[in-house]
Amino acid sequence: MRRRVLTASALTAILAPATLRAQNHGHAHSGNEVKIGRHEVELVVRGTQATLTIRDEKDQPVDTTGFGATATVLARGNERRSLEFRPAGANRLVAPVDFPVDGKFRATVALRGPAGELGTGRFAIDPAR
């Protein structure tokens, strides 16, 4: 019995890092990702800036030249506010956040590519301080 426990523990120790690398594809995910069209889009809100990071279906960074996005955000007091995201180099789009929110940052994002509308996604995240 002791041998089975050691064997199972050893197997777990060997396979766990490989499984983790396969799931993360070489980069860390925050849990704020949503599929929009064929793209995996991550939203991070830190201070007064919202950032969208875009990856393709093969989990590769997407050049955001020619991309844009609009977000409708639920601000403090259930007021609806809009954000306009612009390319910020690499695979990122950014927008200034100049209003307070209560609790989670709730946003519906409409993503546009060079050929037009790509789809929408909904986020409900905890803003980073």
CATH number at residue 61: 2.60.40.10
Q: With bands split at pLDDT 50, 70 and 90, how would you rate the model's confidence at 129?
A: low
Domain span at 44: 28-125
| Percent of the chain residues past pLDDT 70, beyond the cut | 75
Overall domain count for the chain = 1
SS3 content of the chain, % helix, strand, coil (to 5): 20, 45, 35
> How far from 43 is each of 10, 81, 85, 111, CA to CA, in Å?
37, 16, 11, 12
12 or 120, which is more confident? 120
50: in domain: yes
- The answer to whether residue 21 sits within a structural domain is no
Would 8 be classed as within a structural domain? no
- 10-55 pLDDT, tens digit per residue, is 434 444 333 333 333 344 555 589 999 999 999 999 999 999 999 9
Q: Is residue 16 part of a domain?
A: no
